[in-house]
Structure 1
Amino acid sequence: MANDLNSVFKPGAEVEVSSNDNGFRGAWYAGTVIKPKTYKNKQLIQVEYKTLMSDESGTKPLRETLDVVQLRPLPPREKRDRDFKFSEEVDAYYNDGWWEGVITALLPGNRYSVFFRATREQLEFSGTELRVHREWFYGNWVPPLEQEQAEASISIELNTCDHIKFTKGADVEICSDEDGFYGAWFSATVLEQLSNGSFKVEYKSLRNDDDTAFLTEIVDTNHIRPCPPPPREGDPFRMFEEVDALYNDGWWVGVVIKVLNRQKYEVYFRGTEEQMVFKQSDLRRHLEWINGKWVSSSAVCNLVNR
């Protein structure tokens, strides 16, 4: 890491804090470092939140002791009058924190419609409530502010399908909000569409509790999508490109952090802070299914010195 953690997260430093709690995944909250701690060889940081309170009257800021991986410095400042583009990845200020989303519509009056992967919601924001989405990797911001114009996340649309109907026998993917499976997509087949608009599906790789058959489940429209278009064979991945990795019978969203030899890649998973090595055949480019379209963010290819 370019900067020593003790200097980055020293007492009084302004930081942002992430949470893995249900209902708060994907959000970053402003805070101040109170003091570092060490417990069982684990580096912990006590922080005080700026917008979250510990009492009902809202006068006492919440304090927590967290793993250092849940902290990052404040993102670099940017121009307040910035125009955002369709399908650009952004953070939206909502419920006292910054939530990762994707621009799905440009509206009059410098307003934008934003889709949130974590909750499958779509909400409207003004431009002043948005900022460029950045990741904190090895002591550097991606994309860095000085390269924003050249490397801002530019998106493309693929396979526009405004009226997808999931008929019986259709191959689909299903996502889960359960602990241990959050953020992953699993292959399934539609068995039937129910009268309330939900779907009964049978998974292709997940088994029931007694392992006698493939698992069946009822899912709503927010947790089902078509299978993504097949990847182009032999097309290599690039540093800091978002990918889906095939692991534990599902596709998990990660970021390529190292290109290895023999068509292998090291992938970082934000949700678990894990890093794993995958063959190219077990990876695909990450796509989002938004408003009946496949949308892909371009990779950030150049990074400031690590």
Structure 2
Amino acid sequence: MAPIKVTEINSEERHAMLSEFIKSIAFKRQQITKVFQKGDEVEVASQVYGFIGSYYDATILSPVGAYHYRIKYKNLLTGDESAPLEEMVSAAVIRPVPPHQDETTSENRFRLYDMVDVFANDGWWFGFISGKIGEEYYVYFPTTADNIAYPRHVLRYHQEWVNGKWKYLPKTRN
């Protein structure tokens, strides 16, 4: 069987393929390639159903044994909302904060099917561009099946922490 050319894939098939790809990434645990120190800024992957595929900014408070850390979230609060939430998490759900993306470059224009993170509901959510109307980009989130419009300033290209380095996932172009 000959390989399928990208131009031969219709939008429903591409949507389904990207959805499965994103789910496979969102449900995997991080490869432990870095030892974090007190004060390190990190992102913590949620393992809670309905929040899979989201990352939350946090600071390392201390290592706990070989594979756990005590962390303090930047945007998540305690139940009574009186202080930032602190908890112990596995090293497998922690990654460094991705490098900042320059929003002024012309290459930073999102296109249909680009994989992105959206800052919403106190964290970064992984999805892909499903459309654009006016100045708002629609992002589809395969782990929740939501398709929501966002302004450009809350989007970033998705990156994965692989073998101790940040990697952009290949951009999908029409």
Superposed, 1:50-69 pairs within 5 Å as none
**Which residue of 1 is the match for residue 110 of structure 2?**
237
Q: Which has the higher contact order (CA 8 A, sep 6+)?
A: 2
**Which residue of 1 is the match for residue 168 of structure 2?**
296
Q: Which amino acid aligns with 2:70?
A: K
- How many Å apart are 1:116 and its aligned residue? 5.1
Change (3 A) 1:248 1:270: same
Superposed, 1:134-173 pairs within 5 Å as 164-173=34-43
Are the counterparts in 1 of residues 42 and 96 from structure 2 also a CA contact under 8 Å? yes
**Which residue of 1 is the match for residue 70 of structure 2?**
200
Change (3 A) 1:167 1:295: same
**Which residue of 1 is the match for residue 129 of structure 2?**
256
**Which residue of 2 is the match for residue 187 of structure 1?**
57
What does the per-residue CA deviation read over 1:21-64, in whole Å, with 9 as the maximum and x for residues that have no partner?
A: xxxxxxxxxxxxxxxxxxxxxxxxxxxxxxxxxxxxxxxxxxxx
Partners in 2 of 1:268 and 1:212 — Cα distance?
Answer: 33
Partners in 2 of 1:258 and 1:249 — Cα distance?
Answer: 23
Q: Which amino acid aligns with 2:103?
A: E
More strand by share: 1
Q: Which amino acid aligns with 1:198?
A: H
More helix by share: 2
Are the counterparts in 1 of residues 46 and 53 from structure 2 also a CA contact under 8 Å? yes
Partners in 2 of 1:116 and 1:192 — Cα distance?
Answer: 27
- Give the TM-score normalised by the residue count of structure 2: 0.80
Residue 174 of structure 1 aligns to a residue whose secondary structure is: strand
Number of equivalences: 155
Runs of 4+ in 1 over 3 A off after TM superposition: 162-165
- Give the TM-score normalised by the residue count of structure 1: 0.47
Change (3 A) 1:189 1:78: farther
Matched-pair identity in % = 34
Change (3 A) 1:181 1:227: same
- How many Å apart are 1:269 and its aligned residue? 1.0
- How many Å apart are 1:261 and its aligned residue? 2.6
Are the counterparts in 1 of residues 26 and 52 from structure 2 also a CA contact under 8 Å? no
What does the per-residue CA deviation read over 1:218-246, in whole Å, with 9 as the maximum and x for residues that have no partner?
A: 11111000001111213211111000011
Unaligned runs of 5+ in 1: 1-76, 80-90, 92-98, 102-114, 123-161
**Which residue of 1 is the match for residue 157 of structure 2?**
285
Partners in 2 of 1:163 and 1:120 — Cα distance?
Answer: 12
- How many Å apart are 1:163 and its aligned residue? 5.9
Q: Which amino acid aligns with 2:76?
A: L
- How many Å apart are 1:273 and its aligned residue? 1.5
**Which residue of 2 is the match for residue 118 of structure 1?**
27
Partners in 1 of 2:112 and 2:130 — Cα distance?
Answer: 6
- How many Å apart are 1:298 and its aligned residue? 2.2
Partners in 1 of 2:48 and 2:127 — Cα distance?
Answer: 18
- How many Å apart are 1:293 and its aligned residue? 1.3
**Which residue of 1 is the match for residue 138 of structure 2?**
266
- Over aligned residues, Cα RMSD in angstroms? 2.4
What does the per-residue CA deviation read over 1:134-158, in whole Å, with 9 as the maximum and x for residues that have no partner?
A: xxxxxxxxxxxxxxxxxxxxxxxxx
